[in-house]
Amino acid sequence: MQNKSFYEALKDERVRRKYSLGDIATRSNIPVKVLETLETGVLDRIPGRFYIRSFLRSYLNAVGADEKEFFLKYHQEIDALTREGDSQKVVCFSKLKYKRFKSRRMTYFLVFMGFLVTLLILTLPQTEPIRSWLGFPEDFSFMKILGSR
């Protein structure tokens, strides 16, 4: 008997138990395209290699196969796929997201500080020279606007 690769064994197990890809997709919450990718062995379509093990576990649980036995049998092949080192791309992506988050946070902080400074200039009596320099009338009072009648 010839040795099968893991993706051929997956498909054989599914067919033997008479499940369709749609059934497995429903039971495992994995899209049909990803399941097809797992069964054909063209794993370049999976965004991160570290997801392969998780997808395989979910697939095997949905089919009802013994995942420990499967991983023992095909551990070398699966390890070779999941150790290609594309986790570096994920780290770079997360750093990029963090930089964007930091820049947004700084923008929100600067807008808040500008609002706070404007509010202080309009309300504090000591800032009358600044208000006159900005062109506000001498009898202008922010408290009048707020509701002091």
Q: In this structure, what DSSP letter does residue 50 have?
A: T
Secondary structure of residue 48 in the 3-state scheme:
coil
Rounded Cα gap, residues 114 and 135, in angstroms: 18
Answer with the residue of higher pLDDT: 120 or 19: 19
Rg (C-alpha) for the chain, rounded Å, is: 31
Stated pTM of the model: 0.53
Query: What is the Cα–Cα distance from 38 to 55, expressed in whole angstroms?
Result: 8
Task: Report the alpha-carbon angle 88-68-44, nearest 5.
Answer: 35
For 78-130, the pLDDT digits (tens) are 777 765 554 444 445 456 666 677 778 888 899 999 999 887 777 776 767 77
CB 74 within 8 A of CB 57: no
DSSP state, residue 86: T
DSSP 43: G
For residue 91, the model assigns a pLDDT of: 45
Q: Quick one: pLDDT at residue 82?
A: 62
Task: State the pLDDT at residue 103.
Answer: 77
4 pLDDT more than 70: yes
86 close to 48: Cβ distance less than 8 angstroms = yes
Helix axes 32-40, 6-16, angle to 10 degrees: 120
What pLDDT does 113 receive? Answer: 95
Alpha-carbon span 119 to 49, nearest angstrom: 53
| pLDDT at position 12 over 70 | yes
- Distances in Å between the Cα of 137 and the Cα atoms of 110, 121, 128 are 28, 14, 10
